[in-house]
């Protein structure tokens, strides 16, 4: 490149799925924060210390925040995507539809479950 030309901008997207929301950030190649978005996610507590969330709601929130942070940039300049979703499990059937993993094994509008006590103990939650 000649002295007057600039290198094309490079962008990186980070997505974090938390207990109450999904967050996304857009940074440039220098690590400067250019955009941030968050979207709440639903949570059910069918019994004390047992929380369940909807995998479809979480995915929709991921899409919302990602679209918000990349709005107005050339998507071809995105060089990386980091994704974090601790204590998450999504079980899909052969048609890629979410399957319930709640204690009763019943169909529900939510399909991600976890026990607070088991998370603290470092064990995993499994469906029936």
Q: How confident is the model at residue 90 (pLDDT cuts 50, 70, 90)?
A: confident
The whole-number average pLDDT for the span 9-30 is: 95
- pLDDT beyond 70 at 117: no
Residue 55: CB atoms within 10 A of its CB come to: 20
Number of domains composing the chain: 1
Domain span including residue 79: 11-121
pLDDT confidence of residue 104 = 63
Question: 6: which residues sit within 8 A by CB, 6+ positions away?
Answer: none
In this prediction, residue 119 carries a pLDDT of 43
Domain contains 46: yes
Residues 98 and 121: beta-carbon distance below 8 Å? no
Higher pLDDT, 82 or 100: 82
Task: State pTM to two decimals.
Answer: 0.70
pLDDT at 103: 63
The CATH number that applies at residue 50 is 3.30.420.40
């Amino acid at each position: 490149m000649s002295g007057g030309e600039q290198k094309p901008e490079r962008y990186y997207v980070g997505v974090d799925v938390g207990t109450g929301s999904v967050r996304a950030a857009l940074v440039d190649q220098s690590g400067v924060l250019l955009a941030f978005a968050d979207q709440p996610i639903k949570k059910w507590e069918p019994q004390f210390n047992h929380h369940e969330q909807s995998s479809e709601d979480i995915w929709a929130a991921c899409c919302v925040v990602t679209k918000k942070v990349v709005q107005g940039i050339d998507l071809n300049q995105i060089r990386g995507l980091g994704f974090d979703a601790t204590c998450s499990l999504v079980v899909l059937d052969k048609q890629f539809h979410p399957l319930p993993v709640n204690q009763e094994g019943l169909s529900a509008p939510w399909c991600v479950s976890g026990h607070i006590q088991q998370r603290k103990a470092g064990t995993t939650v499994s469906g029936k």
